C-alpha cells in the first residue's frame, strides 16, 4: 500500500490553512501548514512534500519567488498557486514560474480536491528514500532526531524525554509560529481528542519548559497565548 501523499499548505491566512488541513486530512492526505516561505523551509527540513499549495501574495517572500526557488532545486513536487487575482495575466505568470496549476480564492473545497488529485497524478512518484523523513530537525539550541525519536542538545547528547513528550514536541516542530489549542495539540501529537478535564497537554508542556527553556518562568520556546493555546517559537542561530 502506498503511503498517503504529503501536502504542505503555505498561506498567511490561518483560517484558510486550518480549513484546508482539516479537509484534506479527512481525505486521507498528510497535511502540514506554514504561514511564510521561512516556515516552509523549516518544514522541508523534515521531509519533501508531494505537493505544495502556495499563496501568491504573502508578507515577506511572495509565492512566485518561492516557486521559482523551488524549481531551482533537484526536488520534484507539485505546486498549486492560490490567489485572489482572477486576471489571466496573473495565471500565466504563475504557470510561467513553474506552478502546475492555479486556483482562485474563494474556492470550493471539492474543486481544490480535484485539482490536488489531478496534479498528484502528473507528478512522478519519488523514490522511497525521498519519502522518508529527514534524519533530524533543528530546534534552536536542540535537535530532534526524527528516526531515533530522540531529543539532542547542542553537543549531540540525549535529553531524556518521554514518548508522549516527544510526540508533543514533534507536533510543535511541524507547526512553528502557529497558535495551537490544547485540543488541536492532542489531536496532532496523540491522534485522539482531549477530554474536558484532561490537563495532560499542559503538564507535558510544563515538563518540556523545565527541560528546554533557559528560564521556565519566562518561556521563549513554548509560549502561552492567553485564551487560545500555545505557540512554538524556535530560536534561530543557537546551534
pLDDT tens, the chain, 239 aa long: 467 889 999 999 989 998 999 999 999 898 988 888 888 887 887 778 899 999 998 888 888 889 888 887 656 789 999 988 877 777 788 888 888 999 988 899 999 999 999 999 887 665 554 455 456 666 667 888 877 788 888 777 888 889 889 888 888 887 888 888 988 888 888 777 776 657 888 999 999 999 988 899 999 889 999 999 999 887 654 33
Parse the chain into domains and list their residue ranges: 6-131, 136-232
Angstrom distance (rounded) from CA 103 to CA 112: 8
Q: How far apart are CA 165 and CA 80, in angstroms?
A: 35
Give pLDDT, residue 158.
87
pTM above threshold 0.75: no
Q: Is 216 exposed, middle or buried (0-12, 13-18, 19+ CB in 10 A)?
A: middle
Which cell numbers hold the place of 67? 516557486
Q: What grid cell was written down for 184?
A: 488541536
CA distance 217 to 196: 26
pLDDT at 95: 84
Yes or no: domain 136-232 corresponds to CATH 3.40.50.800:
no
The predicted pLDDT at position 80 comes to: 95
Judged by DSSP in three states, 160 sits in: coil
Which one-letter DSSP state was computed for residue 196?
A: T
CATH architecture of structural domain 6-131: 3-Layer(aba) Sandwich (3.40)
Amino acid at each position: 500500500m502506498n503511503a498517503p501523499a504529503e501536502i504542505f499548505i503555505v498561506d498567511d491566512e490561518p483560517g484558510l490553512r486550518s480549513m484546508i488541513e482539516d479537509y484534506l486530512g479527512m481525505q486521507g492526505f498528510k497535511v502540514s501548514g506554514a504561514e511564510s516561505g521561512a516556515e516552509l523551509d523549516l518544514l522541508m527540513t523534515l521531509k519533501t512534500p508531494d505537493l505544495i499549495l502556495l499563496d501568491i501574495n504573502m508578507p515577506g517572500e511572495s509565492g512566485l519567488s518561492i516557486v521559482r526557488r523551488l524549481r531551482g532545486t533537484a526536488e520534484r513536487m507539485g505546486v498549486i498557486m492560490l490567489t485572489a487575482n482572477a486576471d489571466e495575466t496573473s495565471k500565466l505568470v504563475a504557470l510561467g514560474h513553474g506552478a502546475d496549476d492555479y486556483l482562485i480564492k474563494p474556492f470550493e473545497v471539492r474543486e481544490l480536491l480535484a485539482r490536488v488529485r489531478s496534479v498528484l497524478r502528473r507528478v512522478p512518484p519519488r523514490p522511497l528514500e525521498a519519502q522518508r523523513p529527514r534524519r533530524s530537525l533543528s530546534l534552536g539550541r536542540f535537535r530532534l532526531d526524527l528516526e531515533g525519536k530522540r531529543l539532542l542538545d547542542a553537543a549531540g547528547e540525549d535529553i531524556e524525554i518521554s514518548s508522549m513528550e516527544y510526540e508533543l514536541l514533534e507536533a510543535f516542530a511541524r507547526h512553528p509560529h502557529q497558535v495551537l489549542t490544547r485540543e488541536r495539540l492532542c489531536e496532532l501529537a496523540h491522534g485522539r481528542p482531549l477530554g474536558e478535564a484532561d490537563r495532560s497537554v499542559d503538564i507535558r508542556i510544563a515538563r518540556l519548559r523545565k527541560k528546554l527553556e533557559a528560564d521556565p518562568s519566562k518561556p521563549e520556546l513554548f509560549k502561552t497565548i492567553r485564551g487560545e493555546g500555545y505557540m512554538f517559537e524556535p530560536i534561530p542561530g543557537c546551534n
